């Protein structure tokens, strides 16, 4: 049975954050809010957590997982970014974008796109997500919570608790979450390619 944490959207309770992070460090899988949608999240080295995300979402081997990072310094440890690209990505973060970039050796091989050796990264503009990342001290390996056969992400924490009660270890709820995923920009070939249009303005990269 998943634990349910009702946290304040602007001033999340430190005790609740610590309890959630304790679950993550014990290789738990959580649902948490971001500035786009609710997401599934676990620690980077949590192999069983990754498998559980794949099972919940029915994902294939070509799926791009996302490393949700607290800030640009953390993001830079996991992807390769040239100077020109650095400026354009930094100007758009934090915000509703996921960037697909060549991964560094800090990223476990099983998380990479099997052919491109890339990974998705993003920095959320959301108080609760940022507080969790600060408490954890490392990125969250994440995937948008869209269940198989459904086109729209789940937006209500209580409903997520009911439907995924035995599939995840905790649900972090700070009120209704958005229903539009991030805009995905693929830089794996050097030029920006808009893979998905979402919350972030794609014209910044066209």
pLDDT at 83 over 80: yes
pLDDT (0 to 100) of residue 190: 82
Can you give the pLDDT at residue 163? 96
Whole-model pTM: value is 0.95
Nearest to 5 by CA among 90, 14, 136: 14
Q: 15 CB contacts (<8 Å, ≥6 apart)?
A: none
Q: At what angle do helices 127-136 and 14-25 cross, to 10 degrees?
A: 60
Mean pLDDT of 23-31: 98
Q: Is the pLDDT of residue 115 over 90?
A: no
Strands 183-186 and 97-102: parallel
Cβ atoms of 205 and 185 closer than 8 Å: yes
pLDDT in the model for residue 18: 98
For 147-171, the pLDDT digits (tens) are 999 988 889 999 999 999 999 999 9
- What is the predicted pLDDT for the residue at 112? 80
Please count the other Cβ atoms lying within 10 Å of the Cβ belonging to residue 26. 10
**Confidence grade of residue 116 (pLDDT, cut at 50, 70, 90):** confident
Q: In the chain, pLDDT over 70 holds for what percent of residues?
A: 100
Of 182, 177, 204, the residue nearest 195 (C-alpha): 182
pLDDT at 63: 81
CATH homologous superfamily of 3-96+121-179 equals DHBP synthase (3.90.870.10)
């Amino acid at each position: 049975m998943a634990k349910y944490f009702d946290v304040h959207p602007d001033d999340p309770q430190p005790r609740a954050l610590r309890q959630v992070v304790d679950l993550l460090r014990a290789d738990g899988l959580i649902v948490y809010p971001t500035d786009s949608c609710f997401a599934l999240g676990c620690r980077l080295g949590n192999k069983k957590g990754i498998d559980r995300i794949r099972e919940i979402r029915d994902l294939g081997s070509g799926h791009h997982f996302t490393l949700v990072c607290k800030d640009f310094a953390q993001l830079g440890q996991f992807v390769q970014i040239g100077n020109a690209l650095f400026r354009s990505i930094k100007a758009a973060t934090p915000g509703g974008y996921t960037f697909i970039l060549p991964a560094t050796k800090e990223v476990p091989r099983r998380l990479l796109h099997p052919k491109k050796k890339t990974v998705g990264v993003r920095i959320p503009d959301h108080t609760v997500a940022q507080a969790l990342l600060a408490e954890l001290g490392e990125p969250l390996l994440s995937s948008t919570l869209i269940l198989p056969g459904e086109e729209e992400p789940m937006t209500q924490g209580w409903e997520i608790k009911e439907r995924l009660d035995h599939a995840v270890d905790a649900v972090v709820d700070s009120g209704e979450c958005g229903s539009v995923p991030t805009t995905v920009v693929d830089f794996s070939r050097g030029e920006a390619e808009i893979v998905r249009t979402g919350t972030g303005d794609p014209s910044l990269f066209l």
